Amino acid sequence: EAGVTQSPRYAVLQEGQAVSFWCDPISGHDTLYWYQQPRDQGPQLLVYFRDEAVIDNSQLPSDRFSAVRPKGTNSTLKIQSAKQGDTATYLCASSLGRSQNTLYFGAGTRLSVL
Amino acid sequence: GEQVEQRPPHLSVREGDSAIIICTYTDSATAYFSWYKQEAGAGLQLLMSVLSNVDRKEEQGLTVLLNKKDKRLSLNLTAAHPGDSAVYFCAVTPGTGGYKVVFGSGTRLLVSP
């Protein structure tokens, strides 16, 4: 069974540039999460979906970040105008969204904003 | 919302010693508790999970204890070896309101020979 796939693995930007991250979850997983993990910190939830619907995006900086999952499978997270404070690893995870909610993570995209 | 605190942030033990990591949480309705391991440059991998009706679970040298009265979750690596060196995270899922998973801040474990 294929795991969660993320691309790119690394991105280096200047402040003000835009970047998109792509995630392909495990087939059949209806719930998909995007986490931001700053260096030496725990993952912090940005947004999560059930199928194509956003369930919680309360921690997503909506002025510069956006996330979509149009067909309830793959997802894209976009930063419109990156800031140095966005430097972090962006993790995608998927799950079956049941009471025993195990998350399966991709390897992440490491973003550096100079 | 749910708050999770994890300690210690760093832990160094000798091979064969035990290593204990503790998390406390705030929401008494929390339903599902997990421990994840993150090796360098990789995503998180599930180690073990328990439902809220379980007080203790042991698997392959790992013991998870859940104290609901004190809202405390612990992970005990009973005989650590150098391959256990990694960052460990606790994670909690609420009992109501969906499947938002909140993580602790992590413990960097170093096991020396």
Mutation site, B44, B46, B90, B109, interface A, largest A CB count within 10 A: B44
| Phi, psi of B26, deg, nearest 5 | -110, -25
Q: How confident is the model over A11-20, as pLDDT tens digits? A: 999 999 999 9
Pairwise CB contact (< 8 Å): A45 & B6? no
When the pLDDT of each residue in chain A is averaged and rounded to a whole number, the result is 93
Residues B37-75, buried b or exposed e (16+ Cβ, 10 A)?
Answer: bbeeeebbeebbbbebeeeeeeeeebbbbbeeeebebbb
Give A85's DSSP letter: G
Confidence of residue A38 (pLDDT cuts 50, 70, 90): very high
- Nearest Cα of chain A lies from the Cα of B17 at a distance, in angstroms, of 25
Is the model's pLDDT at A99 over the cut of 70?
Answer: no
Q: How confident is the model over B76-96, as pLDDT tens digits? A: 999 999 999 999 999 998 777
Name chain A contacts of B47, Cβ cutoff 8 Å.
none
Q: How confident is the model over B57-72, as pLDDT tens digits? A: 999 999 999 999 999 9
The residues facing A12 across adjacent strands are A112
Among the partner residues A41, A45, A91, nearest to B105 by beta-carbon distance: A41
Between CA B29 and CA B95 the distance in angstroms is 5
